[in-house]
Amino acid sequence: MDESTAQLIGYTAAGSLPVVLAGAVVLRYTGNRSLTTSMVALVLIPILSALAGMVAVSGLMFTAELHRTLVVLAVVAAVTVPAAVVLGRQQARKTVWERQIREQERAAEQSRRELVAWVSHDLRTPLAGIRAMSEALADGVVAGDADVTRYAGQIGREVHRLSGMVDDLFEMSKISAGALRLELEPVDLRELVDEVLAANRTTAERAAVALHAEHPGTRLTVAADDRALVRVLTNLVCNAIAHTPPGGRVAISAGAGAGHAWARVDDTGPGIAELDLPRIFDIAYRGTAARSPVAADGLPAGSGMGLAIAAGLVRAHDGDITAENRAHGCRFEVRLPLPRY
């Protein structure tokens, strides 16, 4: 290598190296903040470092050849910087989308694990009771018609409870897998409210809870699967009755406004703990003791998936479901879009 070539390399390095170092500093402080800024910096660093190297080699003499080089570099920068901005924004959106997908997959996996843990625990309880009572009947341990009748009745209740759990599990699996198929048609929300009221009146009377409904005199037409929407309201009403002490009230109301129809279930129970509110619609989440009623046998009432199923069915209707505390009790509200004519 002759002396002139060595000097050329030295001047070029001396001019371009500070630009590269400055670009590295910029990337260090902007890399975690803006992907677009990082892309622009990565484009400008080689252009500016080449420019600085050429200026250093020329000895700060702006000759005609250097002028032509500057024009070329300016054109290159004018073309590549906007492209870098566009590509940076696209890559940023892709990165955010991929992160959201990973978070959703982790959340789904966590939900599946919780569901498996719930199934292995809660389904075992009624099965164990049925097995013990059936063995007692088969071995002749139970004597007398009254005891046999009592055992048979208990077995029937456990079977009914187990059947409800299996139905909820099947419904929840379809919702989680995205395999739920709804048959949407125009329905009057008031009729569904009245149907739910009639179906749950006996349950409310047994719990010594007053149950009533309120809705306007005009039709509230929404596009919905009536079976699925009845199940949503039924789950909310049953949840409200279960959490309302004797002598309390549960109200179902319906109305419309701001482009959507709504149905509300209000109770006069103990309310929902603030820590429970964000997870109240999670699978098998029963919350604190205040919101976890027990049946007469001391076991948790229900499958623990009623609210999760309601939330999944509402989302399948492109609707929204919320829960909030009030001065006395809490309110669950379902909002569905009104049809556009």
Kindly list the domain boundaries of the chain, sorted by start residue. 3-99, 123-179, 183-341
pLDDT confidence of residue 292: 45
Pick the CATH number of 183-341 from 3.30.565.10, 3.40.50.2000, 3.30.1490.100, 3.30.1360.170: 3.30.565.10
Sequence-distant (6+) residues with CB within 8 A of 116 are none
3-state secondary structure at position 15? helix
pLDDT, one tens digit for every residue, the chain (341 residues): 566 667 666 766 776 777 777 777 777 776 566 666 777 777 777 777 777 777 776 666 666 776 677 777 777 777 676 776 677 677 767 777 778 778 877 776 776 676 666 666 667 777 777 888 888 887 777 767 787 888 888 888 888 777 777 777 777 777 766 667 788 899 999 999 999 999 999 989 999 999 999 988 889 999 998 888 999 999 999 999 999 999 999 999 999 988 899 999 999 999 888 888 888 887 766 565 444 444 444 334 555 678 888 898 998 899 999 999 998 899 999 999 988 75
Q: Where are the alpha helices (DSSP H) in 31-141?
A: 35-57, 64-122, 124-138
CA contacts within 13 A on the Cβ side of 300: 21
User: What pLDDT was estimated at residue 290?
Assistant: 42
* Dihedral angle computed from the Cα positions of residues 49, 54, 59 and 61, in that order, rounded to the nearest 10 degrees: -120
Q: What is the largest CA-CA distance in the chain?
A: 116
Task: Give whole-number Cα distances, 313 to 68, 268, 280, in Å.
Answer: 67, 25, 15
